[in-house]
Amino acid sequence: MQSCEISSDSTDDPLSRALHRHRQPRIVVIGAGLAGLAATKTLLENGFTNVTVLEASDRIGGRVQSIQHGKTTLELGATWIHGANGNPIYHLAEENGLLEHTTEEERSVGRISLYAKNGVAHYQTNNGKRIPKDLVEEFSDLYNEVESCESSSPSMDEVSLSEFGEWTEIPGAHHVIPVGFIKVVEILAQDIPSRVLRLSKPVRRIHWNCSSQDAEEIADQADHNQDQRPSPSPVCVECEDAECLLADHVIVTASLGFLKKAHETLFSPGLPQDKAQAVQKLGISTTDKIFLEFAEPFWSPECNSIQFVWEDEAQLESQAYPEELWYRKICSFDVLYPPERYGHMLSGWICGEEALRMERCDDETVAEICTELLRQFTGNQNIPKPRRILRSSWGSNPYIRGSYSFTQVGSSGRDVERLAEPLPYIKNTKAPPLQVLFAGEATHRKYYSTTHGALLSGQREANRLIELYQYSFGAETTKPNI
């Protein structure tokens, strides 16, 4: 098990001093996204030194992925900081001088502007006609509230109306980070020793509620490290490369999409029925971005968004399009602003099953189809193919399998809470408590689907362990709130 050195000033509080005197609990954090890094940072700051982070991919950040593209940074994943005061991501970015904001007025026009300030969205039909601005204004606000890309759902028919108010918006402007959202990730990770972070380390199975003998036998079968044997461990984390790590606690920050695919084999014993049902009932789908870079703009200077409106509604009665018609789910292309930073760049959006079909196409095919769409909707047959294309593929990423969660029909906020509950529950005094904890945006009842929800969930699970050991060591006189 990897560990980090305790800093000279980390024993100033009672818990740190107690941890320094006792055997350090062994904690494994699965996933190095915002939730995993926030949990790790919080634990290290509170005196826990035997912490290891296992990240399946070869990078940190999870669903934050900033790509350097020429002179600028493009976001394949998280883009906006939603809200200001009370948003920990906002405060972290502000303190480090990372912010640039869009106003409420700009946001009211649609999902535009990073996008051109004082510009207007052009609503175009597939017959090349422009819908008059006054007509658009009658429904645009409602359209922007219920657009399925906002919920990362295949269709708004799948979003629970009764639970639509569960998600809570933090007041304030919506901000972007010109140098890349990944800077927030790097700030969280900067004080985490490199030996704590282990990349390209996917986990095969989490054996929990083990007796000491069970854990040792599992580890022996996988040729595990001899130096982990001395003390009992209720959890054994088995990696894909056959290495096993014995632990007292594991914080799982895997995405809901990954849990849906893998939970039946990931946990041994399997998840309790109510938690497994919560995993299945909650929703997650794929929202992808398609960036198209042109040598010259074909759009007018005041245009900041080209919104697609299909007129032939009779062909859209079914919820899913034939596979070859995946492009009909592209809802818009936004003009990135300013051109001095982005060049002449459009950003398109697609969600649901159609996004997965797009991911199966090669770049050349996607570029050709998007060009034909733009020609069709603008009526300009002279639009050239883009000189470069960049796109996300969250749905087919084997370690993520989706973009962000939503409350699906049949699910509720209580399912979010069930997903967040640790195993075993604290009231079960027959087994060591808090062996497996759960974090990630899908586990935050008010802020699911957001970066601040992910960060807060990681801090929440770290604080469960902090309170447990404060109580265990007598640093507090009340029972832990877990």
H-helix or E-strand spanning residue 238 = strand 235-239
Q: Is 47 inside any structural domain?
A: yes
Do residues 212 and 252 make contact, with C-beta atoms less than 8 angstroms apart?
A: no
Compute the C-alpha angle 43/49/51, nearest 5°: 70
Confidence of residue 71 (pLDDT cuts 50, 70, 90): confident
Same domain, 291 and 171: yes
Residue 393 above 80 pLDDT? yes
Residue that wins the pLDDT comparison between 214 and 326: 326
- Which tens digit of pLDDT belongs to each residue from 406-453? 888 888 899 999 999 999 976 656 788 899 999 999 999 999 999 999
Same domain, 358 and 293: yes
Long-range contact set of residues 380-388: C-beta below 8 Å, sequence gap at least 24:
380/298, 382/298, 383/298, 384/294, 384/295, 384/298, 386/292, 386/293, 386/294, 386/346, 387/293, 387/294, 387/295, 388/69, 388/291, 388/292, 388/293
Same domain, 48 and 195: yes
Select from 363, 391, 419 the last residue of a domain: 391
Cα separation, 267 vs 258, in Å, equals: 13
Picking from 268, 211, 212, 277, the residue whose alpha carbon sits closest to that of residue 421 is 277
Q: Is 6 inside any structural domain?
A: no
Q: Is 49 inside any structural domain?
A: yes
Same domain, 361 and 420: no
What is the 8-class DSSP label of residue 408? B
- Which tens digit of pLDDT belongs to each residue from 292-307? 999 999 999 989 999 9
Look up the CATH number of the domain holding residue 156.
Answer: 3.90.660.10
Amino acid present at 471 = Y
Confidence of residue 147 (pLDDT cuts 50, 70, 90): confident
Picking from 401, 67, 60, 392, the residue whose alpha carbon sits closest to that of residue 200 is 60
Same domain, 463 and 328: no
H-helix or E-strand spanning residue 414 = helix 413-420
Structural domain that includes position 94: 66-180+287-391
Highest mean pLDDT among 152-166, 214-228, 353-367: 353-367
Tokens matching residue 409: 């029909």
Q: Is 112 inside any structural domain?
A: yes
Range list of β-strands (E), 71-202: 72-75, 80-82, 100-102, 120-125, 174-176, 197-198
SS3 17: helix
Average pLDDT value for residue range 196-200 = 98
Tokens matching residue 423: 């195993």
Q: Is 413 inside any structural domain?
A: yes
SS3 385: coil
Q: Is 481 inside any structural domain?
A: no
pLDDT given for residue 259 in this prediction:
98
pLDDT given for residue 374 in this prediction:
97
Average pLDDT value for residue range 47-62 = 97
Burial class (CB in 10 A: 0-12, 13-18, 19+), 296: exposed
Residue that wins the pLDDT comparison between 411 and 397: 397
Same domain, 82 and 174: yes
Residues 6+ apart with CB under 8 A from 16: 6, 10, 46, 47
SS3 34: helix
Select from 367, 391, 415 the last residue of a domain: 391
Q: Is 337 inside any structural domain?
A: yes
pLDDT given for residue 396 in this prediction:
96
Residue 165 above 70 pLDDT? no
Tokens matching residue 165: 């108010």
pLDDT given for residue 109 in this prediction:
35
Do residues 182 and 65 make contact, with C-beta atoms less than 8 angstroms apart?
A: yes
Cα separation, 201 vs 238, in Å, equals: 10
Do residues 436 and 210 make contact, with C-beta atoms less than 8 angstroms apart?
A: no
Largest CA distance in the chain: 75
Same domain, 70 and 154: yes
SS3 134: helix
pLDDT given for residue 226 in this prediction:
42
Same domain, 152 and 249: no
Same domain, 293 and 332: yes
- Which tens digit of pLDDT belongs to each residue from 185-196? 999 999 999 999
pLDDT given for residue 134 in this prediction:
74
Residue 177 above 60 pLDDT? yes
pLDDT given for residue 415 in this prediction:
95
The total of structural domains in the chain comes to 2
Average pLDDT, the chain: 85
pLDDT given for residue 173 in this prediction:
84
Distances (CA, A) of 70 to 181, 239, 342: 17, 37, 8
Select from 349, 369, 391 the last residue of a domain: 391
Same domain, 433 and 339: no
pTM of the model: 0.86
Confidence of residue 106 (pLDDT cuts 50, 70, 90): very low
pLDDT given for residue 113 in this prediction:
42
pLDDT given for residue 472 in this prediction:
77
Same domain, 358 and 252: no
- Which tens digit of pLDDT belongs to each residue from 241-290? 999 999 999 999 999 999 999 999 999 999 999 999 999 999 999 999 99
User: Given 3-state DSSP classes, what are the helix, strand and coil percentages for the chain, each rounded to the nearest 5?
Assistant: 35, 20, 45
Q: Is 92 inside any structural domain?
A: yes
Same domain, 273 and 349: no
Look up the CATH number of the domain holding residue 422.
Answer: 3.50.50.60
What DSSP string runs through 263-277?
A: HHHHEESPPPHHHHH
Do residues 233 and 210 make contact, with C-beta atoms less than 8 angstroms apart?
A: yes
